[in-house]
Structure 1
Amino acid sequence: MTAGFPHHSRPGYYPPALSEELSTYVATMAAALVPGGAGYPSGREAQVGRFVAERASGQDAEVLAAVAQRWPAGSDAEATASLVAMERDDPTAFAYLRELVYHGYYSSRRVLAAMIDRGYAYHGAPQPLGYPQSEELLVPSARRGSYTETTEVSRVDG
């Protein structure tokens, strides 16, 4: 567990759960789902498989194993065919895998560098570091609501 910020989105929060085969499966599916181009890395080059492996829970491993069994990815061509069929025939599994891949992809330093090279002012996860902020934006311009101490609250019988 990462000291100072124990959160399931951080690497090492869960004990290693993905086998080498599942990590490779995720990397192959990530390359098919995000092929890269125009200066952006592919899902494999962005190391999505590693990202997911470092953060996957035991439950994630079980779900991914079931997905991998039903939708094989022994090659890039097979991964592409499986993704097309999965999106059509099993949208829940497709959405699950897509979410893992996209989260890993847009958390990759390589992808963030490509975005910054193109002028995007994005800093990646975890938020609130994602977009530039100023003190002016962080402080409300008008006071709204109120605060009552717990000891000052009394029961209202109606």
Structure 2
Amino acid sequence: MSALGEAPAPFGAPEETALPGEAGGFFESGRPRIGGLLHPVAFSDLQEKVIKAAADTIIPPHPKWPTASEIGMVEFVGRYVTPSGYKNKHFPFATEDEFKSGLDKLGQSFVDADVAGRTEAISALEKAEDPLFEQLRALFYYGYYSRPRVTLAINDNLPAGRDFHGPPLPYGYLQTTEPWDEELLAQAEEHGSYLETDEVVRVDLSQLSWAK
């Protein structure tokens, strides 16, 4: 039997996972694997070009900052897209077939377009509430700000970022977050109450005094 973390499963958490509340926290079971997929989803040459062009559209290049398309964004995206045949259960909930279909729809015309044309195409996705827009935006933001080169740029370019050490822990506060108290929640549902907005009234505080 391998130790925790030594033999990562191809999808999801390591094969040997900690019991809830021990070592890995209360929500260890079912967590996404650190670093995404062991084997990233592969994209066609055109799809890779679309990803890079979209990355530079959502995160415009700047001389003092690393260019999004030049810091391994394609591989990062491939590690966080759910492969065909697997249950889509992790953020940003991008499935391989639908994600690739969206990239293909943008296609060569998007790659060949100028900045204004690309911006218009991405804006159209946003206005149409196309899931592809939110997936691309989330993947690009997370991918970009997890890169060591970007961390160094934050240190160099932002006075408030000189002590920035990188993105938060992969799993947040799993080791310290306590599980929900199901019994207490059930009681709250039975006996809890709330006021509707129309029933809320202003409280007169004019007669209150902080003096004893």
User: Among residues 104, 121, 124, which one is paired with 2:164 in the alignment?
Assistant: 121
- Residue 46 of structure 1 contacts residue 108 of structure 1 at CA under 8 Å; is this kept in 2? yes
Question: Which runs of no fewer than 5 residues in structure 2 stay unpaired?
Answer: 9-13, 15-31, 85-94, 177-212
Contact preservation (8 Å) 1:52, 1:104: yes
What is the one-letter code of the residue matched to 1:63? E
Deviations 1:78-100 (A, max 9, x none): 43221011111234321111111
Q: Structure 1's 55 and 67: CA in aligned 2 closer, same or farther, altered over 3 A?
A: same
Matched pairs, number: 130
Following the alignment from structure 1 to structure 2, what is the Cα–Cα distance between the partners of residues 55 and 48? 11
Greater helix proportion: 1
Instruction: Single out whichever of 51-60 and 33-42 deviates more from structure 2.
Output: 51-60
**SS where residue 69 of structure 1 aligns?**
helix
**Cα RMSD between the aligned structures?**
3.0
Contact 1:17 1:53 in 2 (8 A): yes
Give the Cα separation in 2 of the matches to 1:125 and 1:4.
24
Higher Rg: 2
| 2:70 aligned counterpart, secondary structure | coil
**Structure 1, unaligned stretches of length 5 or more?**
130-137, 140-158
Deviations 1:105-131 (A, max 9, x none): 1112221110122314132254479xx
So what's the TM-score if we normalise by structure 2?
0.50
- TM-score (ref. length: structure 1): 0.64
Instruction: Tell me, yes or no, if structure 1 residue 63 matches structure 2 residue 102.
Output: no
| Structure-2 change in CA distance of 1:9 and 1:39 (3 Å) | same
1:97 matched residue in structure 2: 136
Residue number among 60, 64, 79 corresponding to 1:35 in the alignment: 60
| Sequence identity (%) | 20
1:104 partner SS: helix
Contact 2:36/2:80, CA 8 A, preserved across alignment? yes
